[in-house]
Amino acid sequence: MCIFCDIIDHKIPSSVVYEDDHTLAILDISQVTRGHTIVMPKKHCANILEADEETVQQVTMAAKKVAALLAEKTGCAGINLLNNCGEAAGQTVNHLHVHVIPRYGEADALEIHFKPSENVDLNEVLAQLK
């Protein structure tokens, strides 16, 4: 059972922002900021690592269209595109989706902090990745 597949199949109601043959974008039920939208492929895949290239391209292009729509209609100051891949990264629904989150300034409800880790040797990391 997958809640997003049920939404795509119209078994669960949703607020559709954008739809095409391969993707669906709906308002997130928890609006972290006004207009927070999630974009998903109609084809079930658990996450970005398991998705085929075509599906990733379709979702990415749909997310770009949704971002443009939100920028035009909400008057937001910026937009975050966010994909959580895996439980450790905060993924709670195992159907690939991209959050498109309009930003209205420092007072809005989303906080993302990049805190540099100390003692990471870039050469060691590069060697690990090659």
Residues that bind Zn ion in the complex, under the rule CB under 5 A:
2, 4-5, 44, 95
| C-alpha distances in Å from residue 116, one per residue of 33, 97, 105, 113, 120 | 26, 27, 23, 9, 9
| Residues touching ligand AMP, count (CB under 6 A) | 13
Assess 16 for contact with ligand AMP (CB under 6 A): no
- End-to-end Cα distance, the chain: 38
Near ligand AMP by CB under 6 A: residue from 17, 24, 25, 26: 26
Residue 14 interacts with ligand AMP (CB under 6 A): yes or no: yes
Residue 4 CB, shortest distance to ligand AMP, in Å, is 8
**Which residues are part of the catalytic machinery?**
97
Q: How far is the CB of 12 from ligand AMP (least distance, A)?
A: 6
**Residue 68 C-alpha from the chain's centroid:** 15
Task: Give residues with Cβ within 8 angstroms of 74, minimum separation 6.
Answer: 34, 35, 102
Element (H, E) at 57: helix 53-74
Contact status: 92 vs ligand AMP (CB under 6 A): yes
Which residue ranges make up the site for ligand AMP (CB under 6 A)? 3, 12, 14, 26, 28-30, 38, 84, 90-93
